[in-house]
Chains A and B, each alone.
Chain A
Amino acid sequence: MKLKYIIPILFIALFTMSCSTDDDSDIILNEVEGLKKIQDLTNTTHTVELYNSSGKFETGYNAITIRIKDNASNNYIENASLSWMPVMQMPSMKHSSPKSEITKSLGKKTLFEGFIIYQMANLDGSGWSLKVDYTINGTSYTANADIKVMQAEYQNVASFMGTDEVRYVVAMMAPNNPKIGINKLKVGLFKMESMMAFPVVEDYKMTLDPRMPGMGNHGSPNNTDLIYNGADKTYEGNLSLTMTGYWVLNLKLLNASGEALKGESVTEEHPKSSLYLELEF
């Protein structure tokens, strides 16, 4: 074989090999690509990094991605078990909010994920703190810090007392990017069992009536009731949006035996249910 064939092959081999070693470290660093950092929770050993798509916490459903950095080695932890506790400190009392477990992100080495539903916020974003407990190789650690939660522009979460004297939290989890057409509406329903515990409520039902108050409060056709999906632990239904703009999703919460716990049907005289969510696109 002539030299002029060998040399390019050698170069290609050299480049691809050198590139592939670079890529290995890049993959780890780039696992949060496309996400924005919200905040770090730091203790002496680790930095717990919090990410989501907007880089900030707002009231309502917040999908959160977590990464733990070993402060000594600057490496990211791949195996850990985590749990968290958001807390709102109010003048006379404190309470938590609905949240998920934290699980390893599918197909990622260093990422963990879960969601928190902040049901309220102070105007300046103060009051909330977040404590993350995690265990690495049998050793437990804690990171804790105040966080800033801003009021979302539209009501995507509602906290209310049902006629059964139980306090509930309802939050919109999807669609993230509503479209003209039929959207998959996902809503979480939680019960305030105590100040600190908000378990998922199963097998209730919500009726859905989206309306546009900006235009005669007209509705849209072929919406379906929100039915509990045991796999996702959410309530799902079809939300049809006939145009862009501001929509009020009027809801009525029914318990397993069909009794209305909150919300009313929309009529001429009663244009809006007392239980509703909002969206604009």
Chain B
Amino acid sequence: MKKLILAVIWVFCGGIIFAQESHDTKKDTTKLDEITLVGRRKLSNYRQEKTLASIDDYLEKSNKITMIKRGNYAWEPAMNNMNSERLNVTIDGMQIFGACTDKMDPITSYVDVSNLRKVSIGSGQSGSENGHTIGGGIDLQLTNSKFHQSGLKTSVDLGYETNGNYKTGGLDLEYSGNKFYLHADGIYRKSDNYDAGKNQEVLYSQFQKYNMSLQTGYKLTDHHTLEAAVIYDKATDVGYPALTMDVSLAEALITSVTHKYVNDSTFIQSLESKLYFNTITHVMDDSKRPDVPIRMDMPGWSDTYGFYSKASMTIDKHALEVNLNGFYNRSLAEMTMYPNDPNQAAMFMYTWPDIRTLYSGIYAKDTYAFNDQTSLSTALRIGFHQNEIAKETGLESLQIFYPEIGATNNRVLSSFTTNYQFKKEHYDVSFGAGYGERAPSVSEGYGFFLFNSFDNYDYIGNPTLKNEKAIEANFKANYHENNFHLGFETSYFHIMDYIIGNIDENLSAMTIGADGVKVYSALSNAKIFNAYLNSSYKFSDSFSINGTVGYNYGSASNGENLPLIKPFSYLAEVNYSTAKFNAALQLEGNANQSRYSNFYGEDETAAYGILNVNFGNEFKLNTNKVILKYGIENILDVNYSTYADWNNIPRQGRNLYVNMSYIIY
């Protein structure tokens, strides 16, 4: 910890001193597109179908992301058919780790749209700016500093959805002055059980949560800004119909202090340094379930301390970015089971035996613009990663399986990616290749009898796992001609030492009713491939159609299909939009999941298609603005579930919704 703090101080001081030296190089004015990003979704701009949609809803609209659902709340994002362990999800560059051993609290569940400015998504190694990843990176970016003297702006948001009697209320206050800004918001969401198609109630799908955030900044001088952010998020009474347990509390406190330096005339044009801390408490319980084989409590905690310092500079035709970051995480989870025989003592174990993770690494990216049309970018990340089992009991319990292991395990992780982009008037093309490594997650390395209801096995972590490594290649091409657009993108991942659970016949399951025990181990390799084709045509300024089809493939070296691979998917949309009104009709669906993975606990999911319609109006009330969004989801009330629905829980049936935003200037 001391070393970490010293490193931070060094970076702060060094960076600031360095930044003061002005550099006399001719600045290049070529503007480079963010080619590493597959998508940047601007949030809260009132252009979405629902202004009050959750982060999960927003993410689901992105081409590359699908959400794995265990209920109606806290969906787990998956990108390139890879989920939590293989992704690097950060909040404004801050590392934050869920405290649930069963992945019931993805990071995306601890922030709300009202906190965020945009979500930056990098596929594969292009998402490695903030940490090591295989599948990609998702960075949920907080509100930017804004010193534009716009004074006070207030907005009130109200939403209601018929399915699940889902109510949302939000209040947003923004003050922006010359030297000071403040952004405060609060949002409350509450939903009862939702109904799947044909009025079939999905029990234990309720949730309730509120989120508050305060973000503020002070301009010290023209070049220096100091910012602070606090987010508090608390969800209670969250049901998980796909699981055997619910959540009585999921609470996060996310804090950060940031120093920003911006100067166009110095060598370092911007330097941003952040110190952060976040803490998560997650309590699983089954007290609402009438019929369980055994009562249990499963609380978990995750605390993370960290920093990053990132600088950007331009030398001739090179745009350089450097990011030095580090974090220290403590993950602890325990399980207490209460035997039905009251004379027997409660049973207790550590499911995450107080695992400390220390990481520090450096990322550098260079983008070289050959000319206005052609550019080449190269990025590199190298880091040191250490895991330590802090609890003696934890070490001893894992030594049951691995007598030889010690308390600490050190790794060096590296990542490399390069991308070549070529742009012409009517088309653009980009090629990319990359190599990346990741350390096993806490569950994969150190989990102790974690029950997975997906395949009905108990899982044991494996501290001796090697780094998982991936070689990837991607290709993207777009063609535009008048009002017609055609796009194609594809990526291929060859993953070595692919971490997945493997049945150990010698072990007996702890969880009542489980089929056995799986130990995390590595397959020699796995292959994941995806391809998307999209096109759109504009009939007029206000009337357009667009469509996307996607294909995904995943197989493992043992000849089995990988689980949770998206089947053939399609989306078609007809859009009408003017300045004050918009409407869209959407058809969305998947083909039959023929390549399901029976071996890894999947069953075949049938094809489905649903129809949605949405409308938006914008009008003025005196000097204030009102934005109204309304629509019907799943118009035909289809009862369906997708490949990404845990244990095939059915999705929402017909849902009528209204969102209203009232903005007071």
- Best-surrounded residue of B293, B341, B346, B508 (most CB of chain A within 10 A): B508
Q: How many Å from the CB of B464 to the closest CB on chain A? A: 15
B337 within 8 A of A: yes
Q: CA A244 – CA B344 in complex, angstroms?
A: 11
CB distance from A148 to the nearest CB of B (A): 24
Contact A242 B510 (CB under 8 A): yes
Q: Is the CB of B349 within 8 A of A180?
A: yes
C-alpha gap A220/B508 in the complex (Å): 7
Find chain A residues with CB under 8 A from B341 CB: 214
Residues in B with CB closer than 8 Å to A240 are 400
Tell me, in angstroms, the Cα distance from A123 to B457 when the chains sit together.
Answer: 45
By a CB distance below 8 angstroms, the chain B residues around A222 are: 400-401, 403
Is B557 interfacial (CB 8 A cutoff)?
no
With CB as the reference atom, state the residue of chain A lying closest to B334: A243
Identify B396's interface contact among A180, A214, A221, CB under 8 A: A180
| Contact between chains at A215 and B337 (CB < 8 Å) | yes
- Which B375-417 residues sit within 8 Å CB-CB of chain A? 393, 395-397, 399-401, 403
- Chain B interface main SS type: loop
CB-based contact B400/A216 at 8 Å: no
Q: Is the CB of A214 within 8 A of B344?
A: yes
Q: Mark B447-461, 1 if CB is under 8 A from A, else 0.
A: 011000000000000
A215 to B458 CA separation, bound complex (whole angstroms): 14
B500 at interface, CB cutoff 8 A: no
Choose among A216, A219, A242, A245 the residue that contacts B397 (Cβ–Cβ < 8 A).
A242
Pair B509/A218 contact, Cβ less than 8 Å: yes
Q: Is B506 interfacial (CB-CB < 8 Å)?
A: yes
Would you give the shortest CB distance from B516 to chain A, in whole angstroms? 11
Q: Can you list, as one digit per residue, whether each of B264-283 has a CB less than 8 Å from chain A (1) or not (0)?
A: 00000000000000000000
Task: Tell me the A228-259 residues at the B interface (CB within 8 Å).
Answer: 240, 242-246
Q: Given A180-B393, A181-B393, A244-B349, are A214 and B337 also a contact pair (CB < 8 Å)?
A: yes
Q: Contact: B403 with A242, CB < 8 Å?
A: no
Is B340 an interface position by the 8 A CB rule? yes
Which of A221, A245, A246, A281 has a CB less than 8 Å from the CB of B506?
A221
- Which of A240, A242, A243, A246 is the most central at the interface, judged by chain B CB atoms within 10 Å of its CB? A243
Which residues B497-526 have CB closer than 8 A to chain A?
506-513
Contact of B344 with A221 in the complex, beta carbons under 8 Å: no
CB of A244 within 8 A of CB of B396, answer no
Which among A181, A219, A221, A245 is the interface contact of B348 at CB below 8 angstroms? A245
In the complex formed, the residue of B with least CB distance to A244 is B348
Complex contact A180–B397 (CB within 8 A): yes
With a cutoff of 8 Å between Cβ atoms, the chain B residues found around residue A220 in the complex are: 400, 508
State whether the Cβ of A212 lies closer than 8 Å to any Cβ in chain B. yes
- CB contacts (< 8 Å) of A245 on chain B: these are 337, 339, 344-348
Taking the closest CB of chain B, its distance from the CB of A240, in whole angstroms, is: 4
Q: Decide yes or no whether A179 CB sits under 8 A from chain B.
A: yes
* B396, A219: Cβ atoms closer than 8 Å: no
Residues of chain B in range 325-356 having any CB-CB distance to chain A below 8 Å: 335, 337, 339-341, 344-350
Shortest A196–chain B CB gap in Å is: 36
For A243, give the chain B residue with the smallest CB separation. Answer: B349
Q: Are B513 and A216 in contact (CB under 8 A)?
A: yes
Beta-carbon nearest neighbor of B398 in chain A: A181
- Residue contact A182 to B510, C-beta cutoff 8 Å: no
Docked-complex contact A216 and B512, CB < 8 angstroms = yes
Residue in A closest to B349 when the chains form the complex, CB atoms = A243
Determine whether B294 belongs to the interface, using a CB cutoff of 8 Å to chain A.
yes
Check: A23 CB closer than 8 A to any chain B CB: no
Inter-subunit contact B293/A242 (CB<8 Å): no
* Chain A contacts for B399, CB-based, 8 A: 181-182
Taking CB atoms, residues of chain A closer than 8 Å to B507 are 221
List of A residues within 8 angstroms of B350 by Cβ: 180
Instruction: Write out the residue numbers on chain A whose beta carbons fall within 8 Å of the beta carbon of B401.
Output: 221-222
The CA-CA distance from A198 to B257 in the complex, in Å, is 74
In the bound complex, do residue A221 and residue B347 qualify as a contact, i.e. CB atoms below 8 Å apart?
A: no
Write the residues of chain B forming the contact surface with A, with a CB cutoff of 8 angstroms: 293-294, 335, 337, 339-341, 344-350, 393, 395-397, 399-401, 403, 448-449, 506-513
Closest 7 CB pairs of A and B: A181-B396, A214-B339, A245-B347, A243-B349, A216-B512, A219-B508, A246-B344
Q: A179-B396, A214-B347, A242-B510 are in contact. List 16 more A-B contacts (CB 8 A).
A: A180-B349, A180-B396, A181-B399, A182-B403, A214-B341, A215-B294, A215-B347, A216-B510, A216-B513, A218-B512, A222-B401, A243-B510, A245-B339, A245-B344, A245-B347, A281-B345
Q: Which residues of A contact B (CB under 8 A)?
A: 179-182, 212, 214-216, 218-222, 240, 242-246, 280-281
Q: List 19 A-B contacts (CB under 8 A).
A: A180-B396, A181-B396, A181-B399, A181-B400, A182-B403, A212-B510, A214-B344, A215-B337, A215-B347, A216-B513, A219-B508, A221-B507, A221-B508, A222-B401, A243-B335, A243-B449, A245-B348, A280-B344, A280-B345
